[in-house]
């Protein structure tokens, strides 16, 4: 029997967890790691990983073909699951509900990793109160070409503001190019109120560091590091502490102490280095549950913004529009109230693919086909969008031709590659509306 077809049975705290295809490579390029290697990694840092997901509904982001394959989101708990693994029913903004897995111990952690869950995606609520988050999440998302030094600088601005607001932030690398700062709060506020506080925080940091920080939702308006306030909208999840990310060196979303932020590097934290770090220094997030704070001061800041004329900011597309939200359309496509066209951003799509690597290769192919135009592009003229459908993810790459003379701008051709996994569903939906 080939090694990858075998089954490894682990005894974890008196429970048996079967690891199917334990020898199957989940990372095979820069780092070689099997599924069993990942299970053992998570067990080695289980106290830290469980601190981020325990007693929370978890969305299963499954990489059944490993980190180099496509992922899909599974909100509903698998029908075949151990009797000791509990679930809870969660309601979404769409009105739909789903029974989601809740992980409480190391055996449950190993069980979901066996499903291909390389990353851990918990909701910011506890199972006892699904309507009131106990965590505000600050997601620092750098644009193309933005330096890691700018990410760290924005993170320190966030810390300074949180200190003034009487809140404690707990930083971690995202495992990619950004940083996350989690803030435990008392579960007294609704999702909308937590998002409103996050928006006020994002705008305040933008005012403090206008050259490197932005709160603008539309990518064509952004520069520097985007503070993604919408990660606090209901039904949104981010990878939690110690999550492995699907990048070639198997980086980890690693908690760090604030005094490490000025000098840390994302590449320092991988599946191969984190267990030793955890054993030597413990968990930098230790004590996070005892540090819950109040949103009152951030909400007062939000009220001052609103009194000064700053209304709501755009929500993700599947949310119902709020009364003070601006028109939910990218500025490049917007028109004025008088129906006269505004100046539109000249955007073209050059690649769509479930594989970010394939999409980036498509971008390079486009640049080689248009070398003179590529020279005229600024760093933030390349928009790399991580798109998310109901169960699928893909990467869309657009080019803003604003710095290219109009007579030299190439037309919109068929993107290469052009694999949008939601296209069939959207076409079906459009045809139904037309009948």
DSSP 8-state class, residue 231: G
pLDDT at 343: 55
Q: Which one has a higher pLDDT value, 165 or 94?
A: 165
Q: How many CA atoms lie within 13 A of 122 on its CB side?
A: 29
pLDDT above 90: residue 119: yes
How confident is residue 355, by pLDDT bands cut at 50, 70 and 90? confident
pLDDT tens for 369-407 read: 998 888 888 877 888 887 766 566 788 999 999 888 888
How confident is residue 430, by pLDDT bands cut at 50, 70 and 90? low
d(CA 55, CA 126): 5
Q: Taking residues 225-239, report their average pLDDT.
A: 94
Q: Are strands 179-184 and 135-142 parallel, antiparallel or unpaired?
A: antiparallel
Radius of gyration of the chain measured on its C-alpha atoms: 22
How far is residue 143 CA from its own chain's centroid?
A: 14
pLDDT at 377: 86
1-5, 101-105, 193-197, 367-371: range with lowest mean pLDDT: 1-5
Mean pLDDT of the chain: 89
d(CA 257, CA 170): 8
How confident is residue 241, by pLDDT bands cut at 50, 70 and 90? very high
Give the global pTM. 0.79
Q: Taking residues 270-295, report their average pLDDT.
A: 96
pLDDT at 389: 64
Q: Which one has a higher pLDDT value, 240 or 316?
A: 240
Q: Taking residues 321-328, report their average pLDDT.
A: 71
46-60, 185-199, 339-353: range with lowest mean pLDDT: 339-353
pLDDT at 349: 93
For 410, residues 6+ apart whose C-beta sits below 8 A from its C-beta are 348, 370, 373, 401
**Highest mean pLDDT: which range of 146-150, 220-224, 362-366, 427-431:** 146-150
How confident is residue 1, by pLDDT bands cut at 50, 70 and 90? very low
Q: Taking residues 352-373, report their average pLDDT.
A: 88
pLDDT above 60: residue 184: yes
pLDDT at 307: 92
pLDDT at 337: 41
**Burial class of residue 26 in the structure, from the number of CB atoms within 10 Å of its CB (0-12 exposed, 13-18 middle, 19+ buried):** buried
pLDDT tens for 16-73 read: 999 999 999 999 989 999 999 999 999 999 999 999 999 999 999 999 999 988 888 8
Instruction: Please write down the HEC assignment for all residues of 249-293.
Output: CCEECCECCHHHCCCCCHHHCECCCHHHHHHHHCCCCCCHHHCCE
pLDDT at 220: 82
Q: Taking residues 211-227, report their average pLDDT.
A: 91
Residue with tokens 């929500």: 315
């Amino acid at each position: 029997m080939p090694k990858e077809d075998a089954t490894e049975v682990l005894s974890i705290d008196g429970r048996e967890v079967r690891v199917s295809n334990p020898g199957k490579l989940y990372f095979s390029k820069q780092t070689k790691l099997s599924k069993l290697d990942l299970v053992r990694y998570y067990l080695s840092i289980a106290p830290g990983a469980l601190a981020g997901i325990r007693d929370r509904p978890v969305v299963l982001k499954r990489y059944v073909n490993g980190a180099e394959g496509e992922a899909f989101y599974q909100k509903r708990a698998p029908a075949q699951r151990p009797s000791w693994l509990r679930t809870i029913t969660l309601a979404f903004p769409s009105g739909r509900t789903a029974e989601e897995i809740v992980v409480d111990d190391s055996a449950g952690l190993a069980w979901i990793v066996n499903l291909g869950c390389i990353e851990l995606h918990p909701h910011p609520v506890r199972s006892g109160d699904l309507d009131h988050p106990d965590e505000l999440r600050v997601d620092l998302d750098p644009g193309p070409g933005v330096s890691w030094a700018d990410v760290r600088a924005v993170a320190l601005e966030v810390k300074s503001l949180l200190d003034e607001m009487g809140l404690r932030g707990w930083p971690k690398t995202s495992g990619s190019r950004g940083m996350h700062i989690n803030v435990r709060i008392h579960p007294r506020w609704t999702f909308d109120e937590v998002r409103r506080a996050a928006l006020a925080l994002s705008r305040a940091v933008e005012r403090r560091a206008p050259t490197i920080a932005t709160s603008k939702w539309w990518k064509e308006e952004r520069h520097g590091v985007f503070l993604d306030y919408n990660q606090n909208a209901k039904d949104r999840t981010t990878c939690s502490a110690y999550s492995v990310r699907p990048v070639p060196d198997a980086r980890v979303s690693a908690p760090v102490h604030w005094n490490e932020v000025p000098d840390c590097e994302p590449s320092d934290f991988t599946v191969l280095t984190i267990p030793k770090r955890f054993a030597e220094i413990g968990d930098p997030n230790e004590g996070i549950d005892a540090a819950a704070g109040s949103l009152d001061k951030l909400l007062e800041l939000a009220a001052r913004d609103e009194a000064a004329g700053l209304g709501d900011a755009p929500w993700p597309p599947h949310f119902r529009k709020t009364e003070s939200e601006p028109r939910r359309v990218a500025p490049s496509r917007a028109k004025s109230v008088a129906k006269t066209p505004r100046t539109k951003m000249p955007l073209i799509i050059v690649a769509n693919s479930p594989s970010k690597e394939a999409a980036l290769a498509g971008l390079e192919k486009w640049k080689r086909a248009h070398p003179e135009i590529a020279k005229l592009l600024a760093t933030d003229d390349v928009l790399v969008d991580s798109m998310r459908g109901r169960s699928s993810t893909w990467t869309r790459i657009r080019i803003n031709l604003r710095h290219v003379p109009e007579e030299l701008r190439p037309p919109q051709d068929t993107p290469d590659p052009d694999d949008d996994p939601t296209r069939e569903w959207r076409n079906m939906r459009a045809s139904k509306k037309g009948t």
